[in-house]
Chain A
Amino acid sequence: MIKLAIYGKGGIGKSTVSCNVSAAMAKKGLRVMQIGCDPKADSTSLLRGGERIPTVLQVTREKGNALALEDVIYDGAFGVKCVEAGGPVPGLGCAGRGIINALETLEKKGAFELCKPDVVIYDVLGDVVCGGFSMPMRKGYADKVFVVTSGEKMSVYAAANICMAIDNFKGRGYASLGGIILNRRGVEDERSAAETLAADFGSSVIADIDRCEEIPAAEKAGKTVAELFAGSRADEQLSCTAQAILDAFGGAL
C-alpha cells in the first residue's frame, strides 16, 4: 500500500488533481481510496457525480462509537473508495482537531483493513495552519507529500511554506516531499517558477498540467476527465501525473 498526501494553496486544484489522479490510477486497475481532509468536505465530489457524502465527523456526531465504516466510505467513479473527514461550520469549533479525530476514527475502525487499498490519497486543505493539518504527514499516514502549485507568486509562496513544514518534520519520521505538481494558470515563466521552487527543496517538478477547458467542463458535470474526455490532452496529462506519482514511490506497487 502506498500513501500520499496532496497539499497546496487554497483553490489551486488539489481536489481536481486528487480526483483525476485517483480515477487514472483506478483505471489502471489499482484499488484507490481518497480521503478528503478539509472541513468543506468537497474533495471527492468529482468522483461522486458532484454529490456530497456524509462525513466521518458528521456521522461520529450522530452515532458516536457506533459509527460503521459503511456509513462513511462510498464507492465513486472507477470504484474509488471515497471518504470525507468533514469538520465544523466555518467560524466555529476546531477544524484541525476534527481532522485528527476523523483520521484516528478511520484507523481505529479498520478502514484500511476493510478496503485493502493499493493507494491512499489524502487531499488536504490549503494552508497547514495548525497541527491538525499536518496529521496526514505523520508517521503511519502519508509516506510522501505532493505539492500542487501554479507559477503565480502566492501559490509558489504557499507551496514553499508547505515544503518548509515537511523539512521541519524530518527528524520525526514524517512524510517526505515526493515532488511538485505544476497546475498551470497561464502566467509567464510558469515552469521555471515551479522548477526553482522544486530545486530549493531538492525536489523536482514531476507533472505539468495545462489550464484547459475539459477540467471545468467535467467539474460542471460532476465527473472526472477520464469519464467525460477520455483520450483528450487533459486526460493524458492527468494520467501522466498519476504515473509520475507512482514512479516517485519507485515501483512500490
Chain B
Amino acid sequence: MKNAARIIPCYSADTSGVCSALYELGGLTVVHDASGCNSTYSTHDEPRWYDMRSNIFISALTEMDAIMGNDEKLIADTVSAAKDRKPAFIALCGSPMPMMTGVDFDAVAAEVEARSGIRTFGLHTNGTRSYIEGASEALAAVVREYAEPCGKVRGRVNVLGLTPLDLPLGADKHIREWLASHGFECGCTLAMGDSLESIKKLPSAEVNLLVSEAGRGAAEYLKKEYGIPCICGVPFGNGFADELAERLRSAANGSKPVALSTAEAGQAEVIVIGEGISAMSLAEALRRDLGLNAGAINTQPSEGAASGDVLSCEEDIEAALLELRPKAVVADPLYRYILPAGTRLIEVPHFAFSGRCFQRAMVNLINTDIKEYFK
C-alpha cells in the first residue's frame, strides 16, 4: 500500500503542473486525454480559470483512437485550434492512456509545427508524476525556446517557479514589491503576472530567485547557458526575507552567498509540510521572526531537488510526525487527519493539495509580519 493515500488527498499531477505553468503565456496547451473536460486540470487545480482566459484544450482521446494509434486526430485538431486561436506557441502533453500506448509527443509536436507554422513542443507528462515535474519541464521548455542572449542589467533578479499551485495569487506582486524595496529590479516573474516578451530577456538578470522546485529546470538551463547563479527561497516574513535579499545581493555581486543555517527536522518543535522551497522558507521565517525551532518536510519528489528530505507518501509522513512529535504542524488544513494526537495544526492552504477547498482562506505571508498569523 506504499504510495497510496488513504486519508489525505494526493497532490496535483504533472499535467496540472504544465497547465498552471503555461497558463499566462499566450500559448495553446493541449492535454492528450480522454473526454473533452477541462475540469481536473484547469478548474479544480486552477484559481485563475474564471477570471483570466487561457487556451487549454483536452484532446478527447477515444478508445478507438488509442487502439488504432490515430495520432492524426490529435494533430489535425491541434492545428485547427491553432489556426483559430493563433497562439504564440503550442505545448502538447500526455496523460496515462497515451503513456500506455507510447504516443511520441516529440514526433507529434514536430508534425504540428510543420503544419501550423507555430512553435510546438512536446512535454512528457503521463499523469502519474508530481505537478512539480510537469511545471518544471514546461517552464524549462519555454525558456529554452524563447530566452535570447542579451546584455546584463545591474541588480536585475528573475523569479522562477511561480505558479498558484504553490503560492497564492498575488505572490508575483508581493515579490516584486519586496525586490524593489531592497533596491533590486525585478526581471521576469516566471510564470505569473508576466509574458513571453520578458521571458526573452531572462538572460539579462544577474541572479535568479527560485521560489519553487517548479522553476528548477529553467534555473538549471539559465545557469548552464548564461551562467546566472540561483538562490532558493520565498521571502516569507521579515527576517528571512531580509536575509534572502542579502543572499541575492552577494550572488549578484559574484560572491558565494553564505549557506543558510537550516534546522534539522529532528529537533524541531514546529514542522512545516509542503513543497520543498516553500516549506524550508517558511520554517526559516518562523525561526527568525518567532524564535521557533522549526523544520520542514518536502512532499514533492523531483529530480535535482535540493531542499530537505523528501517524504512523498502518506505513510512516511505519518510515521515521521509520530516520531518527531512536534508541538505544531504548519500545513494544508487536510493534513489535520494524519496528525498525532495533541499536535496543533496551523493551517496554510496549499492549492496543489486541496485545490479550491480553502481558496478563500489563503493568506499572503510574503514580505510581511507573520507573527500575528502564527501566534
Residues of A within 8 A of B (CB): 94, 96-97, 100, 130-132, 134-135, 138-139, 169, 171-174
Residue from B69, B107, B110, B114 in contact with A130 in the complex, judged by beta carbons closer than 8 Å: B69
Residue from B102, B107, B111 in contact with A100 in the complex, judged by beta carbons closer than 8 Å: B102
Q: Is B103 located at the chain interface by the 8 A CB criterion? A: yes
| A82 vs B227: C-alpha distance when bound (angstroms) | 40
**Are A139 and B107 interface neighbours, CB within 8 A?**
yes
Give residues 53-78 of B contacting A (CB, 8 Å).
Answer: 69
| A110 vs B100: C-alpha distance when bound (angstroms) | 23
**Are A96 and B102 interface neighbours, CB within 8 A?**
yes
Chain B positions within 8 Å of A134 at CB level: 102
| A138 vs B107: C-alpha distance when bound (angstroms) | 8
**Are B114 and A171 interface neighbours, CB within 8 A?**
yes
Residues of B within 8 A of A (CB): 69, 99-104, 106-107, 110-111, 114
| A173 vs B110: C-alpha distance when bound (angstroms) | 9
Please give me the 8 A-B residue pairs with the lowest Cβ-Cβ distance, nearest first: A131-B102, A172-B107, A100-B102, A131-B101, A132-B102, A97-B100, A138-B104, A171-B111
**Are B100 and A94 interface neighbours, CB within 8 A?**
yes
The distance from the CB of B255 to the nearest CB of chain A, in whole angstroms, is 33
Chain A positions within 8 Å of B101 at CB level: 96-97, 130-131
| A134 vs B102: C-alpha distance when bound (angstroms) | 9
Closest to B100 in A: A97
A130-B69, A131-B69 in contact; A174/B102 too (CB < 8 A)? no
| A101 vs B100: C-alpha distance when bound (angstroms) | 9
**Are A135 and B102 interface neighbours, CB within 8 A?**
yes
**Are B102 and A171 interface neighbours, CB within 8 A?**
no
- The 16 sampled A-B contact pairs (Cβ below 8 Å) are A96-B101, A96-B102, A97-B99, A97-B100, A130-B102, A131-B69, A131-B102, A131-B103, A132-B102, A134-B102, A139-B106, A139-B107, A171-B110, A171-B111, A172-B104, A172-B107
Chain A positions within 8 Å of B103 at CB level: 131
Chain A positions within 8 Å of B107 at CB level: 138-139, 169, 172-174
Secondary structure of the A contact surface, majority rule: helix
Chain A positions within 8 Å of B100 at CB level: 94, 97
Closest to A94 in B: B100
| A126 vs B101: C-alpha distance when bound (angstroms) | 18
Closest to A171 in B: B111
| A94 vs B67: C-alpha distance when bound (angstroms) | 13
Residue from A97, A139, A172 in contact with B102 in the complex, judged by beta carbons closer than 8 Å: A97
Chain B positions within 8 Å of A173 at CB level: 107, 110
The distance from the CB of B92 to the nearest CB of chain A, in whole angstroms, is 14
Closest to A174 in B: B107
The distance from the CB of B217 to the nearest CB of chain A, in whole angstroms, is 15
| A134 vs B107: C-alpha distance when bound (angstroms) | 12
Closest to B106 in A: A139
Chain A positions within 8 Å of B69 at CB level: 130-131
Chain B positions within 8 Å of A172 at CB level: 104, 107, 110-111
Chain A positions within 8 Å of B99 at CB level: 97
Chain B positions within 8 Å of A94 at CB level: 100
| A134 vs B101: C-alpha distance when bound (angstroms) | 11
| A135 vs B104: C-alpha distance when bound (angstroms) | 9
Closest to A135 in B: B102
Chain B positions within 8 Å of A130 at CB level: 69, 101-102
Closest to A96 in B: B102
Chain B positions within 8 Å of A135 at CB level: 102
Closest to B115 in A: A171
Closest to B102 in A: A131
Closest to A131 in B: B102
| A96 vs B103: C-alpha distance when bound (angstroms) | 12
| A169 vs B71: C-alpha distance when bound (angstroms) | 12
The distance from the CB of B78 to the nearest CB of chain A, in whole angstroms, is 15
Closest to A132 in B: B102
The distance from the CB of B290 to the nearest CB of chain A, in whole angstroms, is 38
The distance from the CB of A189 to the nearest CB of chain B, in whole angstroms, is 35
Closest to B67 in A: A130
Closest to A173 in B: B110
| A139 vs B110: C-alpha distance when bound (angstroms) | 11
The distance from the CB of A167 to the nearest CB of chain B, in whole angstroms, is 14
Chain B positions within 8 Å of A169 at CB level: 107
| A101 vs B99: C-alpha distance when bound (angstroms) | 10
| A139 vs B105: C-alpha distance when bound (angstroms) | 11
| A139 vs B107: C-alpha distance when bound (angstroms) | 8
| A138 vs B69: C-alpha distance when bound (angstroms) | 15
| A174 vs B107: C-alpha distance when bound (angstroms) | 8
Chain A positions within 8 Å of B111 at CB level: 171-172
- Determine which residue in B69, B107, B111, B114 has the highest number of CB atoms from chain A within 10 A of its CB, and name it: B107
The distance from the CB of A133 to the nearest CB of chain B, in whole angstroms, is 9
Chain B positions within 8 Å of A174 at CB level: 107
Closest to B101 in A: A131
The distance from the CB of B71 to the nearest CB of chain A, in whole angstroms, is 9
Chain A positions within 8 Å of B106 at CB level: 139
Closest to A65 in B: B301
| A4 vs B103: C-alpha distance when bound (angstroms) | 21
Chain B positions within 8 Å of A138 at CB level: 104, 107
Chain B positions within 8 Å of A171 at CB level: 110-111, 114
| A100 vs B100: C-alpha distance when bound (angstroms) | 9
| A134 vs B71: C-alpha distance when bound (angstroms) | 14
Closest to B301 in A: A65
The distance from the CB of A95 to the nearest CB of chain B, in whole angstroms, is 11
Closest to A133 in B: B102
The distance from the CB of A218 to the nearest CB of chain B, in whole angstroms, is 35
- Determine which residue in B104, B107, B110, B114 has the highest number of CB atoms from chain A within 10 A of its CB, and name it: B104
- New A-B contacts (10) at CB < 8 Å, excluding given A131-B69, A171-B111: A96-B101, A97-B99, A130-B69, A130-B102, A131-B103, A139-B107, A171-B110, A172-B104, A172-B110, A172-B111
